Amino acid sequence: MLFAQANSLCVALIKQPTVLTHESSIQFIEKVKLNDTVRAEARVVNQTAKHYYVEVKSYVKHTLVFKGNFKMFYDKRG
């Protein structure tokens, strides 16, 4: 669930017709329990002609539970 949330956030953050995950490096830091509310934050750290590089951090309350770096391929043509 944490990876899916982070990956979906990366796709939503990039305003292009076609966005695909090229690669990711992720780390599960703490366990998340049923009914925990997970807040994910994403920011673009770099962009090239074909890729966005996005950093995602997920929290339960103020505790970091997940972090990842995503290389997202995009195509403006759709």
For 16-75, the pLDDT digits (tens) are: 999 999 999 999 999 999 999 999 999 999 999 999 999 999 999 999 999 999 999 999
- Domains of the chain in start order, with CATH, are 1-75 (3.10.129.10)
Spatial distance between the Cα atoms of 66 and 51, rounded to a whole number of angstroms:
22
Query: Given a cut of 80, is residue 15 above it in pLDDT?
Result: yes
Query: Given a cut of 90, is residue 77 above it in pLDDT?
Result: no
pTM of the entire structure?
0.93
Query: Given a cut of 90, is residue 78 above it in pLDDT?
Result: no
Give the number of other CB atoms < 10 A from CB of residue 69: 14
